[in-house]
Amino acid sequence: MAQQPDTVTRILDTAEVLFAERGFAETSLRNITSKAKVNLAAVNYHFGSKKSLIQAVFARYLDPFTVRFHAALDELEADHAGGVIPLEELLETMARSVLEVPAERNSLKGFMRLLGLAYSQAQGHLRRYIQEEYGSVFTRFTELVRRATPELPDAERFWRLHFMLGTVIFTLSGLDALRDIAEKDYGEHVSVRDLVRRLRPVVVAAMNAPLPEPAPARREAG
């Protein structure tokens, strides 16, 4: 008969689902342990604290993501033999890496919700943890984007990347509500892959948009 997964895995699986559904503060350890059919004290036994459990939920996605994304970027750089990698290919590679990891575990939507929560909930410890553990792969990515968009001033590129990050996280983390509306109003069921297809031209156009008009001078004219 199918062996029940061990306590640590059951806690992580359940915490992931509940955090994604309701957020961190709104999910108690009692919610998690009762749904996971695990003793309340087991969370503190295995993870030490609720904070560490939250970080462990993220690590289970971000560790394999980082490995894959680095590997994909290695490959891409090898293909282009030191030359500039076009923006479209960089974005495509990132999208593919993000999609691959949770695909194994059938939980793309949950992963996206978690990413959204990581940004929006006031969990300072989580932002710090993610920055420290996984910051370097994003630094590598943004450097490649810099080479792909030499015409953009650095600050402009910084802001546009964050604009697009907002688009993606906001859309995918609020996916259920938006999907319900879209299905009711336009009669089409939208998968995450459909959304990525729709996002592609929008993100590319946004990154390639004309520069904004210069800021009005503060004091002196000319």
Partner DNA sequence: TGTACATCAGTGAACGCGCGTTCACTGATGTAC
> Contact positions toward a second copy, by CB under 8 A?
21-23, 25-26, 116-117, 119-122, 127, 154-156, 158-160, 162-171, 173-174, 177-178, 181-182, 185-186, 188, 194-195, 197-206, 208-213, 215
45: partner contacted, choices a second copy, DNA, none (Cβ within 5-8 A by kind): DNA
Provide CB contacts within 8 A for 137, sequence distance 6+.
66, 69, 70
Residue 139: CB atoms within 10 Å: 9
Q: Determine if 42 is a binding residue for DNA (CB under 7 A).
A: yes
Q: Is 30 in the site for DNA (CB under 7 A)?
A: yes
State how far the Cα of 81 lies from the Cα of 206, in Å rounded to an integer: 28
Identify whether the C-beta of residue 140 lies closer than 8 Å to the C-beta of residue 70.
yes
Instruction: Report the phi/psi class of residue 192: left, alpha or beta, with left for phi > 0 and alpha for psi in -120 to 50.
Output: alpha
Q: How far is the CB of 30 from DNA (least distance, A)?
A: 4
Q: Is 143 in the site for DNA (CB under 7 A)?
A: no
Residues 43-102 that bind DNA (CB under 7 A): 43-46, 49-51
Of a second copy, DNA, none, which one does residue 183 interact with (CB within 5 to 8 Å by kind)? none
Structure tokens at 162: 């964050």
Q: How far is the CB of 54 from DNA (least distance, A)?
A: 10
Q: Find the largest Cα–Cα distance for the chain.
A: 80
What is the Cα gyration radius of the chain? 20
- Least Å from the CB of residue 127 to a second copy: 8
Place of tokens 């059919």: 37
Q: Residue 98: which of a second copy, DNA, none does it interact with, CB under 5 to 8 A by kind?
A: none
Contacts of 193 (CB under 8 A, 6+ apart): 99
Q: Nearest distance from residue 212's CB to a second copy, in Å?
A: 5
| Interface contacts to DNA, rule CB under 7 A | 6-8, 27-31, 38-46, 49-51
